[in-house]
Amino acid sequence: EPEVTQTPSHQVTQMGQEVILRCVPISNHLYFYWYRQILGQKVEFLVSFYNNEISEKSEIFDDQFSVERPDGSNFTLKIRSTKLEDSAMYFCASKSFLIDTGELFFGEGSRLTVL
Amino acid sequence: GQQLNQSPQSMFIQEGEDVSMNCTSSSIFNTWLWYKQEPGEGPVLLIALYKAGELTSNGRLTAQFGITRKDSFLNISASIPSDVGIYFCAGQLTGTASKLTFGTGTRLQVTL
């Protein structure tokens, strides 16, 4: 069964360091998303991406965040200068353009710990 | 922004019992979805609802899209230990690229 894969599964970094989280969406999907979940809280939307550009972003997705689809398969989330409050699980998700069912397929997440 | 509140926040039930949880919104959604999240994993879709009033079943799960488009419930019948997890409702407004707004979650614990 096709799935969304994310790496790394866990990253520990020092405050102020740059972090890149990587995702390989399901191969025939065209819409890509990043969500985050602070420990014990709900899942929050960060950004959606389609046709090589951002479709929508939340107020959380400030200038410290950027996304990229560098090579047609990977979809990355970069945090330029991490803050303590960036510690969370980051979930990548993808969706097929052909099926407007609202179904997003989520990866297993990358846990980011900022010290 | 849109708020989705789920109740109850947590439930402790015995195996075999039925479970009911609901989700209410401050605004209308066009699509309602129910996801389950297990520890260390991403959310997995359980049921999707596309029309106001729609009642949909998936095995032991039944969910309804409220007539007002501002609420939904999820029922689980004859719970089993593997039902343990956090259940999130999510609303979507329009279009294929539209983001999901997640609810606050209901944590379900099942005891033998």
CB A67 within 8 A of CB A78: yes
The reported pLDDT for the residue numbered B58 is 93
Average pLDDT, chain A: 92
The reported pLDDT for the residue numbered B1 is 66
In this model, does residue B69 exceed pLDDT 80?
yes
Q: Name the pLDDT band for A102 (thresholds 50, 70, 90).
A: low
| Token pair belonging to A33 | 């998303």
The reported pLDDT for the residue numbered A70 is 86
Angle at A41 between CA B76 and CA B99, to 5 degrees: 80
Which residues of chain B lie closer than 8 angstroms to A104, CB-CB? 45, 100
Query: Which residue in B99, B101, B102 is closest to A48 by CB distance?
Result: B99
Interface check A90 vs B, CB under 8 A? no
Q: What is the mean pLDDT of residues A88-109?
A: 83
- How far is the C-alpha of A60 from the C-alpha of A58, rounded, in Å? 5
Torsion sign over Cα A43, A47, A49, A52? negative
Is the Cβ pair A108, B103 closer than 8 Å?
no
Average pLDDT, chain B: 92
Question: How would you class B67 by CB atoms within 10 Å of its CB: exposed for 0-12, middle for 13-18, buried for 19 or more?
Answer: exposed
Amino acid identity at B70: K
Question: Nearest 10 degrees: CA dihedral of A111, A7, A47, A107?
Answer: -90
Q: Name the pLDDT band for A104 (thresholds 50, 70, 90).
A: confident
Residue given tokens 């929050």 in the structure block: A44
Count of positions (residues) in chain B: 112
Query: Which residue in A45, A48, A109 is closest to B42 by CB distance?
Result: A109
In this model, does residue B96 exceed pLDDT 60?
no
